[in-house]
Each structure stands twice: as structure tokens, then as C-alpha cells.
Amino acid sequence: MSTRPVWPHPAFAHPAFVPFRALLARLPEFPEYADWERLGSPVCLPAGAPIRFVPPETITLYYELAIASAGTVATRHHDWHDCFNAVIWHHFPHSKLAFNALHQQEIERQGSLTRRGPRRDAATLLDECGMLIASSDPALLDALAQRNWSALFKEEHWGVQISATIIGHATLESLLAPFTGLTAKCVPVLVPEAFFTLPHTQQLRLLDRTLARALAAGWLESPRQLPVLPWLGIPGWWPHQDPAFYADTTHFCPLRAGAAHGSTAAGKNPLTLAIHKADTP
């Protein structure tokens, strides 16, 4: 029988965990299946079945099909990767359902579990190592797309005009032992200035709905539309952010010649989030 991992992990102090800390604090130890049950289902399938986190050996269907048909998410015992997957389900439930629906549609369209195609590849990249980059300044989203790191990582912008929210559970896992070279696939989201005055819970709710609607509308077509972010460059996300750190082009890679069109498409055409009166405090 495996030993429970140490809880809370020291990495929970990292700024990236801020949106998730309230839920993590409700779990006094590394969560067992009964703990997820006590928290309640994060969302229900359109047919009504609640999402539940269960041992993999209790499932006979392919991972995505088990979710789509019964709401059962294969979750390994004492596994950080799967624990963080459950955490993301609780914070981005509608986006996770939309990812699952995309996989199911593509599996049915191609008649194959193994023939993935660009849409499933893109969905998997976001689900595993994705970030939502919300900004009220289109120039900052363009800096992301153009890999203009010196403009993007100016400290005065972050938390005021731009923010990064993790949606990929593998990215959360990587924060347990981070190293230079880590990157995320990003969804740029253009938001009103008022977005940054909202509590984290409301910000996540709005981002979740925005991404879910876009996925349902067929917005995600290929990994190429997702700009790359070396996220340890975000101010405060790495302890040694001196000029030499940012000058390392093996980590902060410039845009490759000839890649401009595919790379800037997402920055030029980000998702748009609207805040309604009911969304404000």
C-alpha cells in the first residue's frame, strides 16, 4: 500500500496556486477517493450523471469514453498528476466537459481511438500543459504571440493588465519541482479592465465559460494556434529573474523565421471575455 504524499506540499506557496488554495485547504491530507466524494461533483454531464473520480481498475472503457458515458474519471491512488486533474475539474468544469466532448466527437468522426488528429492533439496539450492568458491590452497578447519577452514580462503589467491561470494539470504537477525550460500552450483572452478587480473565483468562472463556449463552437483546430509561454518568466514565478535569466534564448526562444503567420494567429484573434453587471461585486 502506497504512503500518502506529504500534504500540503511546499509548492502550494507558489503564486500559480493562488486560485486553487481555497479548495486545497479543504483537504487536510492528500485526497483519497472518499475525500473527492465529500467535496461533491464539480459538474454533471448533459444527461445528468455527476463527474466522479474513481480507481482506474473499475473502468473498462477508454478514458474519454468513460467520462462521456458515465462521468467516471480514472484517478490513480496517491498520484499527483491525477490529483491535480481533479483540482482542475473543480475549477474549470465546463471547459473540462468541452474537452471531453471534443475528444468524443473526433473519435466518432474518425472511427478510431488511436487516430488523434490536430484537434485532439490541441485539446490534449491544453488539458495537460495549458494556460489562459487574460489581458485587457491587445498589445500584450500580441507580445505573447510574437515572443516579445521583454515587453511581455514587464512587472508593472502583471496582475493589473495581464494574468496567467493554469488549466493544465501537468503544469501544476511540474510546479512541485520546477526547472528552467518549462513551457505552456496558451489561450490568449482579451478581457475588460474590470476583470482584474474581480475575486479569483469569479475570474475563473468567467474564463471557464469563455473557453467552454469557444471549444463547443469549434474554435480549437490545431496546436499551431496556441502560442508558447516560458512561464517561469512571469514576474514572481521563479526566484532568479535577473537579466541573464531572461537573456537565455534556449529558454526564452525568439520567434523562428517563417513562423510568424501561424504563431501570431492566436495573438491577433484572442478569445473575448465580456463582463456583465451581474459578474461584478
Residues 111 and 148 in one domain: no
pLDDT < 50 positions in the chain: 260-267
How high is the pLDDT of residue 264? 41
In-domain check, residue 5: no
Total number of domains constituting the chain: 2
In-domain check, residue 231: yes
Provide the whole-model pTM. Answer: 0.95
Residues 275 and 153 in one domain: yes
Over residues 111-127, the pLDDT tens digits come to 888 788 999 999 999 99
Residues 154 and 182 in one domain: yes
Over residues 70-119, the pLDDT tens digits come to 999 999 999 999 999 999 999 999 999 999 999 999 999 988 887 889 99
Sign of CA dihedral 181, 182, 185, 187: negative
Distance CA 185, CA 175 (A): 16
Residues 114 and 152 in one domain: no
Helix (H, G, I), strand (E, B) or coil at 73: strand
Residues 143 and 271 in one domain: yes
Residues 186 and 87 in one domain: no
Residues 195 and 258 in one domain: yes
Residues 161 and 184 in one domain: yes
In-domain check, residue 101: yes
| Exposed / middle / buried, residue 258 (Cβ in 10 Å: 0-12, 13-18, 19+) | exposed
Query: Is 30 in contact with 5 (CB distance < 8 Å)?
Result: yes
How high is the pLDDT of residue 261? 40
Count of Cβ atoms closer than 10 Å to residue 244 Cβ? 8
**Cis preceding linkage at 8, omega within 30:** yes
Residue 144 lies in domain: 123-279
33 residue type, one letter: Y
Residues 104 and 148 in one domain: no
Distance CA 93, CA 241 (A): 34
How high is the pLDDT of residue 280? 66
In-domain check, residue 2: no
How high is the pLDDT of residue 281? 63
How high is the pLDDT of residue 268? 52
- 215-220 contacts at long range (C-beta below 8 A, 24 or more positions apart): 215/95, 215/98, 215/99, 215/101, 215/102, 215/123, 216/98, 216/101, 219/271, 220/102, 220/119, 220/122, 220/123, 220/126
In-domain check, residue 37: yes
Query: Is 174 in contact with 82 (CB distance < 8 Å)?
Result: no
Question: 119, 134, 163 — which closes off a domain?
Answer: 119
Over residues 135-149, the pLDDT tens digits come to 999 999 999 999 999
Question: 119, 145, 175 — which closes off a domain?
Answer: 119
Question: 101, 119, 137 — which closes off a domain?
Answer: 119
How high is the pLDDT of residue 147? 97
Query: Is 83 in contact with 30 (CB distance < 8 Å)?
Result: yes
In-domain check, residue 15: yes
How high is the pLDDT of residue 256? 81
CB contact set of 195 (below 8 Å; sequence gap of 6+): 134, 136, 203, 206, 273, 275
Residues 192 and 57 in one domain: no
Residues 51 and 108 in one domain: yes
Residues 15 and 98 in one domain: yes
